[in-house]
Amino acid sequence: MTSKMQMTEEERRRAAALVARLSDKQVAMIAWGRTIPSEREFIEACQIEDKETGTLVPFALWPAQSELLPRLAEKRLFALKARQLGITWLDLAHWLYATTFWGSRLILVARQTSEDATDAIHRLKVLRDGLPTAWQARIASDRRQSLTFANGSRFKALTTTKRMGRSHAAYGALIDEFCFFDAQEEELSALEAACERIHIVSTGNGAGDHAHKLWRQAERGEGVWKTLFLPWSAHPGRDEEWYARTVLSAVEPRLARREYAATPEEAFAAPEGVFFERFSRERNVAKIEIVSNWDTYRCLDFGFRSPACAWLQVSPKGQWFVVAELTPHDLTTDEFAEAILAEESSFGLAAPLRGTYVDPAGRAVNSHTSENEVKVLARHGMRCRSKPSGVREGCVLLMDALAHPELPLVVSSRCHWTIEALSSVPPDPHQPERYDERSRYEHILDALRYFAVNGPPLGRVSSASSVSWSPPHPRPRRVW
């Protein structure tokens, strides 16, 4: 006989429909049995460890942390940051809120070492223990790298392996200091398959790895990841005097700038240093457009895997401007030539290009295609010029152009790959007077070098039509 207390199928359907109309917070309030605080109220009721005093202090959110808080609702967030901004504490507090009032949620915390994983659990307990008793989730199990609440929600701290997270189905995850992981692509792939929501919180560790590629892709609006950069100045206790004392006066200012970055480019600076040390985004990058009646040149480097072409214009005063770039993959020289011409069709130039500068080695027969690459380009109407030169010669000319006090080389803000190359390429470890030619930026930098060696000297008055012109003075880019 059916019990009077047992729900009928119709009653179950009605109950499910009612629950479906409730918000997450309303469902949690029913389960919790009392009013649920807002996330900010919850977090600011926590306590955190203060490094300076060695005591527990209230978690009073700074303006930068307050701006970040609503972004933690995003399913894929990459928060690149300077050091010591309290962002790991904030993200752990966010996940603690998500598990205190809602049951059966698994949160993974991925950190580099077993010691780091243990520290994550310790921080969660510090956050929880500082809360009012009514807001503290009851602990059912407390282990070295896991924490389970009586409502079924739990935290599991993982150390980095290529398979981490594969056996889990997690509500969310924090990946802490991802830029320092050894196998970033495999580790992130494993976690993405296991987690509905993922936050990366990390300082930078050089350009060219998977973390850097992911950041650049997300910056361009490609894929599912969203980005947020927090500079050193996001800490309310830091000012220019602090920066001068801590960063500019450091034993290694270059490394200190990376740790306390002002821009994403500084955060991703190569650990071993960058070759073009005089490159400055404020001085050498601007929003510029192609000018139809300025002298225009193309320079390119061959390569089936990753050829590169850059277009430079010379102003009437002789200043160099990189106005466009093309960096395709896996093209024959014929296909590369067609892609170059297709790109140029949108430039709207009033006169033909004045020169095509290439690697002198392009006049030799390519061992893969049995063709002379210069002749292939000639079939497409590109008459190439080149003269033998050393890598160092071209590097010196580029460095001088970047640092010129009156007519610095300026790169269009659209030329992401060129900017990345100039700001990130390291020196050759064996020949520090040249950039590392094993770098992924080799081809675009070689193309620029061919222009520097073959093209008109910097400052030579151009043959372009007389136009009203003055050098651009781009303002420093805002990072917030």
- CB-based contacts of 260-264 (< 8 A; 24+ apart in sequence): 260/82, 260/83, 260/232, 261/82, 261/203, 261/204, 261/231, 261/232, 262/82, 262/231, 262/232, 262/233, 262/479, 263/229, 263/231, 263/477, 263/479, 264/80, 264/204, 264/215, 264/219, 264/229, 264/479
pTM above 0.85, yes or no: no
249 and 301 share a domain? no
Residue 42 lies in a domain: yes
Q: What are phi and psi of 401, to 5 degrees?
A: -65, -40
Please answer whether residues 175 and 188 qualify as being in contact, where contact means their C-beta atoms are separated by less than 8 angstroms.
Answer: yes
* Secondary structure element (H or E) that encloses residue 17, with its range: helix 9-20
What does the buried/exposed string (b/e) look like for 355-386 if buried means 16 or more CB atoms within 10 Å of the residue's CB? bbbbbbebeeebeeeeeebbebbeeeebebeb
Span 288-344, pLDDT tens digits: 999 999 999 999 998 768 899 999 999 999 999 999 999 998 888 899 999 999 999
For 262-288, what is the mean pLDDT? 83
Q: Is the pLDDT of residue 467 over 60?
A: no
94: amino acid identity, one letter? H
235 and 379 share a domain? no
214 and 335 share a domain? no
Q: What are phi and psi of 423, to 5 degrees?
A: -90, -15
323 and 446 share a domain? yes
In the structure, what pLDDT confidence band is assigned to residue 475 with cuts at 50, 70 and 90?
A: very low
Q: How many CB atoms sit inside 10 A of residue 63's CB?
A: 10
Q: Is the pLDDT of residue 479 over 80?
A: no
Q: How many CB atoms sit inside 10 A of residue 429's CB?
A: 9
171 and 296 share a domain? no
Residue 144 lies in a domain: yes
Q: How many CB atoms sit inside 10 A of residue 272's CB?
A: 14
Q: Quote the Cα angle for 445-450-452, to 5°.
A: 90
Per-position DSSP letters for 283-303, written without gaps between them: HHEE-----TTSEEEEEEE--
Check residue 163 and report its DSSP letter: T
For 466-478, what is the mean pLDDT? 42
Span 352-364, pLDDT tens digits: 999 999 988 766 5
In the structure, what pLDDT confidence band is assigned to residue 99 with cuts at 50, 70 and 90?
A: very high
352 and 415 share a domain? yes
d(CA 23, CA 29): 10
Q: Is the pLDDT of residue 235 over 80?
A: yes
Q: Which two tokens stand for residue 254?
A: 């270059």
In the structure, what pLDDT confidence band is assigned to residue 112 with cuts at 50, 70 and 90?
A: confident
224 and 355 share a domain? no
Query: Bigger pLDDT: 25 or 82?
Result: 82
231 and 315 share a domain? no
Residue 22 lies in a domain: no
Task: Tell me the C-alpha to C-alpha distance, in Å, between residue 282 and each of 42, 145, 285, 296, 353.
Answer: 41, 45, 6, 24, 29
For 85-101, what is the mean pLDDT? 96
d(CA 116, CA 390): 48
230 and 104 share a domain? yes
For 204-217, what is the mean pLDDT? 88
Residue 19 lies in a domain: no
Among residues of the chain, what percentage have pLDDT more than 70?
85
What's the distance, CA 234 to chain centroid? Answer: 18
Residue with tokens 């160092």: 392
Q: Is the pLDDT of residue 478 over 60?
A: no
3-state SS, one letter per residue, for 336-390:
HHHHHHHHHCCCCCCCCCCEEECCHHHHCECCCCCCEHHHHHHHCCCCEECCCCC
pLDDT winner (highest mean) among 55-64, 271-280, 463-472: 55-64
Strand order in the sheet with 308-314: 285-286, 410-412, 320-326, 308-314, 295-301, 355-357, 384-385
Query: Residue 65's pLDDT is what?
Result: 95
Per-position DSSP letters for 170-211, written without gaps between them: EEEEEEETGGG-SSHHHHHHHHHHHEEEEEEEE----SSSHH
**Mean pLDDT over each residue of the chain, to the nearest integer:** 85
Q: Which two tokens stand for residue 362?
A: 């392009």
Query: Residue 225's pLDDT is what?
Result: 96
221 and 365 share a domain? no
Q: Quick check: helix, strand or coil at residue 433?
A: coil
Q: Is the pLDDT of residue 468 over 50?
A: no
Residue 339 lies in a domain: yes
Q: Is the pLDDT of residue 425 over 90?
A: no
Q: Is the pLDDT of residue 367 over 60?
A: no
Please answer whether residues 186 and 124 qualify as being in contact, where contact means their C-beta atoms are separated by less than 8 angstroms.
Answer: no
For 463-480, what is the mean pLDDT? 42
Residue 204 lies in a domain: yes
Q: Is the pLDDT of residue 31 over 60?
A: no
326 and 253 share a domain? no
Residue 275 lies in a domain: no
* Secondary structure element (H or E) that encloses residue 248, with its range: none
Query: Residue 295's pLDDT is what?
Result: 94
For 364-372, what is the mean pLDDT? 58
Domain range for 350 is 283-454
Span 133-174, pLDDT tens digits: 999 999 999 999 999 999 999 999 988 776 665 677 899 999
Span 375-420, pLDDT tens digits: 899 999 999 888 877 788 889 999 999 999 999 999 999 999 999 8
Query: Residue 465's pLDDT is what?
Result: 45
SS3 content of the chain, % helix, strand, coil (to 5): 40, 20, 45
CATH number, domain of 204, equals 3.40.50.300
361 and 314 share a domain? yes
